[in-house]
Chains A and B, each alone.
Chain A
Amino acid sequence: MHIRSNLALTLAVTIAVKCLLLYGLWAACFSHPQTRHMLLPAGQVERHLFALPAAPDSLPHK
């Protein structure tokens, strides 16, 4: 019982620490993605792919 509860405790602590670390990484590096809901403003994509003159940025219609 002692070992079993030890393992459960170790795993619980590890998962908690892991979630904290993941949250820290996300907050530090990934909390401001350039795409929201996997969409970029169409004008930005055009400038990237075609170097076209800037058009008014707008989200494309789905």
Chain B
Amino acid sequence: MPPLDDVVALSRLQFAATALYHFLFVPLTLGLAWILFIMESVYVMTGRQVYKDMTQFWGKLFGINFAMGVTTGITMEFQFGTNWAYYSHYVGDIFGAPLAIEGLMAFFLESTMVGLFFLGWQRLSPRKHLLVTFCVALGSSLSALWILIANGWMNHPVGAAFNFDTMRMELVSIAEVIFNPVAQVKFVHTAAAGYVTASMFVLGISALYLLKARDVPFALRSFAIAAAFGLASTLSVIVLGDESGYTAGEVNKVKLAAIEAAWETQPAPAGLTLFGFPDDDKQTTEYAVELPWVLGLIATRSYDGRVTGLKELRLENEARIHSGMRAYAALLRLKGGDKSPEARAAFDAVKADLGYGLLLKKYTPNVVDASEAQIRQAAADTIPKVAPLFWSFRGMVFLGFLFLFIFCASVWFMVRRNLAPQRWLLRLCVISIPLPWVAAELGWIVAEYGRQPWTIAGVLPTHLSASSLSPASLWFSLFGFLGFYTLLLVVEMGLMIKYARLGPASLHTGRYHGEPGAEKPGHLAEQQAKNEIAAV
């Protein structure tokens, strides 16, 4: 709970709340679009009506999620200008382009194609409609790409330079921003997590139909596609998550060390703390269970690469704060009117550490004369609280391996044509439906909380990024957002549950459970479905 009148903490809380709510809608859109594309592709290739029904039914649930989720991200852009004025000014030159492109992608490509997807079934040939579905999937992924390029830049600000005249970061190389390794790995990891979410969603609802022995041929085919796509996506998430850890180890050592509660620099290769209770005050991990070598091998991909511990990183950051004080003094000289080559050279020599000098603004208005105690305090701030990161990361990884088990088991029993007796697995699939959302939110907590105390890593401290607003106005808008998003979530849940219960009967084709002339539930239908699956 932040202090009631702390503007920076309230601004952070508001942004975190809106981002986490927004991301409840995003992953399902990201993944379900590709699952629809797979289902419709099979329909176009085989001409079997059931695949068209699958595309239309799951497309209906996709439509509900899309309608609820669209524009929920725009609230974060509201906040940039109002709550984070100094941040916006500092990064506007870099951030403007990806955000504008994302807006164009979302509103023109994605939304137009979603409209065509729903209205085009009678007006377009099957192949043209498939192309539209592909564009829906591509558009949603491209939207995510541009947002994650912006987010990746906040974690690893490349392709930009500080201009002391305008007092902001300015774009030097758009290619470096786009091909930023942090952004690229973040995009593929996040997109794959969305695919896992959608796969679990389809798998769980299909499992529910199978448990109730209703719409079995439809449910088995949906289950098969979700299980295969989910298995591939989960493997991707795990591999790309490992890559993400490796990238963090290279460019954001503090985040990696905090996630792993690596207090000390160990001899290479470092051990991985599997479990334990990190204590931020004592800077130790109680009851630690350690796997030797594993962290060093994962984080450095070598036997002799070191994983620097938090205590050593803190000392390194203290040195950078000293350097940042010199940068701050050199900048003051430039802003005071001395634009001589010597003054510029003095600033250029240390400008990379200007952000570290700015950390001291929290403790003294006069950075140049900061005391050693203030410098030590600022250095301590460069280490985020370890316990929340440690547990969020382990929660996410545990869930990732649970998903791997579920999708592996699902594919295994599908291939062996022995799914129906595995009621434990079907029940597990149903109760696991919400878990990918939990994993995704934990992942965002690791990514964003782990970047503190920076809004732009190493460049701009969070406490200098926020606007000068009144706490009352922040509380008002925070409750406004919470009410708004909760209402949307309740409507979404209500509609999803209603249409999931109705199942494909909501298509009114006359072929499904509850419709006149539809199949009878039970073993016979299931056996028939198994034969059909085998034939496919």
Contact = CB atoms under 8 A, between A and B. Distances in A.
A1 B508 CA distance: 7
A36 B481 CA distance: 22
Size band of the interface chain A makes with B: 35 or more
Interface in B164-196: 165-168
Given A30-B477, A38-B88, A52-B332, A7 B81 contact: no
Contacts of A10: 495
A46 B167 contact: yes
Nearest to B56: A4
Question: Which of B63, B79, B335 counts the most chain A CB atoms within 10 A?
Answer: B335
Contacts of B502: 3
A46 B320 CA distance: 22
B385 interface: no
Interface string B484-509: 10011001000100010010001010
A14 B75 CA distance: 17
Contacts of A50: 328, 331-332, 335
Interface in A1-42: 1, 3-4, 7, 10-11, 14-15, 18-19, 21-22, 25-26, 28-30, 32-40, 42
Given A22-B75, A29-B480, A34-B85, A49 B464 contact: yes
Interface residues of B, number: 53
Given A7-B495, A25-B75, A42-B166, A37 B92 contact: yes
Question: Which of B74, B85, B92, B491 counts the most chain A CB atoms within 10 A?
Answer: B85
A18 B480 contact: no
A23 to B, nearest CB: 11
B484 A22 contact: yes
A42 B477 contact: no
Nearest to A26: B78
Given A3-B502, A14-B67, A39-B89, A49 B477 contact: no
Contacts of A29: 78, 82, 473, 476-477, 480
A38 B99 CA distance: 12
A38 B75 contact: no
Nearest to B328: A50
A22 B74 contact: yes
B344 interface: no
Interface of A: 1, 3-4, 7, 10-11, 14-15, 18-19, 21-22, 25-26, 28-30, 32-40, 42, 45-46, 48-52, 60-62
